[in-house]
Structure 1
Amino acid sequence: MEGLEVRGLLLVWILGLSFVTATSATSVIVIGAGMSGITAAKTLSEAGIKDFLILEATNRIGGRMCKTTFQGLNVEIGANWVEGVNGKQMNPIWDLAQKLKLRNFQSDYDNVTANIYTHHGGLYPHAVATVAFDVADERSNYTTALSTSMSRNKEEDISILASQRLCNKVPTSPLDMAIDYYTYDYEFAEPPRITSLQNTEPLPTFANFGEDLNFVADTRGYESMVYHIAHQFLTTSKHTANISDPRLLLNKVVREIRYSRSGVIVKTEDGSMYRAKYAMVSVSIGVLQTNLIKFHPDLPHWKLLALYQFNMAVYTKILLKFPYKFWPTGPGTEFFIYADEKRGYYPIWQQMENNYPGSNVLLVTVTDDESRRIEQQSDEETKAEAMEVLRNMFGKNIPDAKAILVPRWWSNRFYKGSFSNWPIGVSRFEYDQIRAPVGNVYFTGEHTSEHYNGYVHGAYLSGIDSAQMLVDCIKKGNCEPKFEGRPKK
């Protein structure tokens, strides 16, 4: 009956789509060719499961690791840092960056207290900024200790903001809010009132891999890591070194996944259909929260509830090119903060002299609602706002920006954001449900990483972990992976 069900379904689709032909069945269809999808496919290949198909919606692999050209520079509009370096464990992404000799620079945040600008103009006195940072450190130490205690005692989670309230140190002044933004939003892309305490304090990335962050500025792009992994198991052209493997199909936008115990049928936007025994879905959790991909039957309620509760955050790095430098350069000037009365209004600035000498480029980071607002206005409007902030900081006579680059990850239907953030209210029980397969449909991506959601190394490790679960199912018949708290059928 199972076989008849799938064949009948295929026949219905063929009758309804006269130009459609279905491929012969493969073992696995991997949906998405970002870091997690490519790593999952490589893991399958190494386990001897080589009859897979990778369907990628765009014209490239790499996903949210994406370079572009801006004013003659190769820059990253997505992932930019290797976060978690020089710790007691080796971050696998840092290991790979070193093997590939990616051009990178350790980000220097040490002197940021001397580079905080008021919204009225000029710098805060260094002593004033230092005191504010000391208070922020006390607040952070308290919240970390509280989180550790609550986790040990198995108490219910609270938000970071709730923990700040408990120690009576809620930031309210422009300076305090800017430092709070620098501490939390700049890392998680969402504010403390949203972010989980127990699942972010202390943060496993820094606790395990180290607290250093290295900024990638290589002409090959951060995405070259994904290509390096892909070249290890996908065939390439002898003449160009481009991937020519027929198992990788680009510009294939998956719109439907029909699944049963007999297998899966995947339909793409161009009307093509593909059959397999299993599917590995590596799209972002932001996409899973939309209707881009329709599942038949609908995903079970427990799965949807877990997916819909998790957050897809938006992190926007805006680049501005100037005719000449008007900002401080040299040691201790890489990062500077703007403390506006409105929290999160063009707050974190980075001058690119270390990474791109002589470029006369500034990078400003915005997140969350500001990212969404900026994505919906013109680049000229954004440039005008950024210039007003810069003139508040450096005076009215600074030159206008010659060019601006504004990424739009939230508006892009293939991503719907930058990376996942663990919000208040999602327990380990529910997180295991996000990771859990549904029948023959498996899930991977940075949002499924057990300890490193939101990070490139999380995407890398999740691809391996999810694929290994599928390998265990195919080769050992162990198709019910054991997660703590996974609902029993």
Structure 2
Amino acid sequence: MGIRRTRLMLASLIVIMGTLLGCPGAATAKRAPTVIIVGAGMSGISAAKTLSDAGIKRILILEATNRIGGRMYKANFSGVSVELGANWVSGVGGPQVNPIWIMANKLRLKSFLSNFQNISSNTYKPVGGVYEESVARKAFEVAEQVVEFGTEVSKDLAARKQPDISILTSQRLKNYFPKTPLEMVIDYYLCDFESAEPPRATSLLNSVPSSTYSNFGEDSYFVADPRGYESVVHYVAQQFLTTNAAGQITDPRLQLKKVVTEISRSPRGVAVKTEDGLVHRADYVIVSVSLGVLQNNLIKFHPSLPQWKILALDQFNMAIYTKIFLKFPYKFWPSGNGTEFFLYAHEKRGYYPFWQHLEREFPGENVLFVTVTDDESRRLEQQSDSETKAEIMAVLRNMFGKQIPEATDILVPRWLSNRFYKGSYSNWPIGVSHHQFNQIKAPVGKVYFTGEHTSAAYYGYVHGAYFAGIDTAKLMTSCIKRGACSYSI
């Protein structure tokens, strides 16, 4: 018994000494993390991997939902896997290779090149079928000339360091005033379909020309894989988080269903409180939640964020982009080459304007989806799915005739209403300078910020979120390892 007691005392002494000296062992496993990452979307996961690669292993990722991926979010709709959020790998085939495209290829994600070249042949009148192709093509050519003019204006403003203007202002400079249903739907397709906001709201200087397409190429690939587009986030996560034999993440450094409600900061570190009442402490925190969550004050900061930070966050735009999926008993729309995308021109701009059938992606499933944005997205979130379905069926009957069948199922995402996102992605509005943008991503003490809304070149895109996470993690690493903690704003 004396020998056993001596061994127990020695074991206890070893644990105590390990705690005091910081040696590896059971005691050090309970040490507070160096960094807490709030959110496990693409930016949060890429930030965490970058920290891990730099040797900062004591991290804790707190994710509010029951999954990783953020706004890369698949759902089962009538037996097929559809993407509610991010859907395209935008920017392929250019002088640089989009890192998301590299990941998609490594994973062999099922994706399809989107060819919009024939859309002028598939533009529908308010009632009575398609416009004559020559009429629609002429209207497209005029609108595309206006876009080219806006690009040159933007380059000139940048070269002369002149103040920003909106896309709408550049259109007016060209004496372009879309007012007919055809002109309005083309204007919507060329602007809103990408930015999710109208020309009057969008910065010309910071959106034209698009860095995504200039740097990475003009092609876009539509992801339609049962594993989901979110697979690329899992791909990044699995490079530094432990997994089981099935590839599922088992690393205790990732905690799901942890809704962060408060973040407190002091010179000594941070305290992150979750909805379950627990408080997690660390030296630093990276906040990778959406801009919409920050704008709606769904996380309380103690002390409050400085006024300059709040103003910068609130001045940027969180856009809403809604894809509404419909299932039918049989196909009644044209199919085959050049028919995948079609437009509906209505007297009300943005009223169920952009359509896509999924015959290539899901043959025989008879699935359509229609994209709405901005005010229409807000309106639809306030009404029932049955009301939305009735409106959509009226539009489809205006396009294809009264004899078409009723949709058997509908799926209407509600990004604005979702407290974990409060919108779809950011858009650079007129009036926000690069100085103010730098304030959006600037750290406040030991609280750092990341997300697609902090990528000046690629805001709103998956690759923007990926690059933003890397950039924020590198900034934090410089502070932790070299004491270079200042940030110029």
Per the normalisation by structure 2, the TM-score is: 0.93
Q: Equivalent residue for 1:119?
A: 126
Partner of 1:352: 358
Task: Please name the residue that 1:269 is paired with.
Answer: 275
Cα shift readout 1:148-204 (whole Å, capped 9, x = no counterpart) = 101111111011001111110121111000000000000000000000000001010
Aligned with 2:56 (options 49, 52, 58) = 49
What residue number does 2:321 align with? 315
Aligned partner of 2:3 in structure 1 is: none
Aligned ranges for residues 408-419 of structure 1 at < 5 Å? 408-419=414-425
Please give the alpha-carbon distance, in whole angstroms, between the structure 2 residues aligned to 1:243 and 1:275: 23
Question: Residue type matched to 1:297 in 2?
Answer: P
Letter of the structure 1 residue corresponding to residue 247 of structure 2:
A
Question: What displacement does 1:25 show?
Answer: 2.1
Find the partner of 1:177 among 177, 180, 184. 184
Q: Secondary structure at the match of 1:82?
A: strand
1:215 equivalent in alignment to 2:222: yes
Q: Which residue of 2 aligns with 1:5?
A: none
Q: Extract unaligned runs of 5+ from structure 1.
A: 1-22
State the Cα distance separating 1:261 from its structure 2 match.
Answer: 1.4
Does structure 1 retain, via aligned residues, the 8 Å contact 2:168–2:199? yes
SS of residue in 2 equivalent to 1:105 = strand
Q: How many Å separate the matches in 2 of 1:120 and 1:458?
A: 40
Inter-partner Cα distance in structure 2 for 1:247 and 1:158? 45
Structure-1 residue corresponding to 2:86: 79
2:201 is aligned with 1:194: yes
Alignment of 1:337-376 (within 5 A): 337-376=343-382
Matches within 5 A, 1:222-233: 222-233=229-240
Task: Please give the secondary structure, in 2, of the residue aligned with 1:359.
Answer: coil
> Contact (CA 8 Å) 1:24, 1:274: kept in 2 or not?
no
Deviates more, 1:344-353 or 1:163-172: 163-172
Out of 370, 373, 380, the residue aligned to residue 386 of structure 2 is: 380
CA RMSD of aligned residues (A): 0.8
The aligned counterpart of 2:251 is 245
- Contact 1:282/1:445, CA 8 A, preserved across alignment: yes
1:204 equivalent among 193, 197, 211: 211
CA–CA distance in structure 2, aligned partners of residues 431 and 202 of structure 1: 18
> What is the distance in 2 between the residues matched to 1:177 and 1:461?
34
Detail structure 1 runs of 4+ shifted over 4 Å in the superposition.
none
TM-score (norm 1): 0.93
Give percent identity, aligned residues only: 64
Is the contact between residue 103 and residue 235 of structure 2 (CA under 8 Å) also seen in structure 1?
A: no
- CA displacement 1:253-278 (0-9 Å, x = unmatched): 00000001110000001100000010
* Letter paired with 1:384: A
CA contact (8 A) 1:263 1:276 kept: yes
- 2:154 is matched with 147
Cα shift at 1:237? 2.4
Query: Partners of 1:431 and 1:226 in 2: how far apart?
Result: 26
Q: Distance in 1 between matches of 2:407 and 2:263?
A: 46
Q: How does 1:462-473 map to 2 (within 5 A)?
A: 462-473=468-479
Question: Aligned to 1:40, what secondary structure does the other structure show?
Answer: helix
Cα shift readout 1:115-172 (whole Å, capped 9, x = no counterpart): 0001022111111101100100111011111111011111110110011111101211
Q: Is 1:26 aligned to 2:33, yes or no?
A: yes
Q: Map 1:275-294 onto structure 2 (within 5 A).
A: 275-294=281-300
Native 8 Å contact 1:24 1:275 kept in 2: no
Name the aligned partner's letter for residue 371 of structure 2: T
Which residue number in structure 2 is paired with residue 108 of structure 1? 115
Partner-residue secondary structure (3-state), 1:26: coil
* Residue 446 in structure 1 maps to residue 418 in structure 2: no
Question: In the alignment, what sits opposite 1:19?
Answer: none
Letter in 2 for 1:478: A
1:197-242 residue CA offsets vs partner (Å, 9 max, x unmatched):
000010100011111110000111000111111111111124x432
Match of 2:141 in 1: 134
Distance 2:378 2:251 in 1: 38
Following TM superposition, by how much is the alpha carbon of 1:24 offset from its aligned partner in structure 2, in angstroms?
A: 4.6
| Per-residue deviation, 1:292 | 1.0
1:455 aligned to 2:461?
Answer: yes
What corresponds to 1:235 in structure 2?
Answer: 242
Matched, 1:67 2:74: yes
Q: Which has the larger radius of gyration?
A: 2
Name 2:406's counterpart in structure 1: 400
SS at the partner of 1:317? strand
How far apart, CA to CA, are the structure 2 residues paired with 1:291 and 1:149?
A: 38
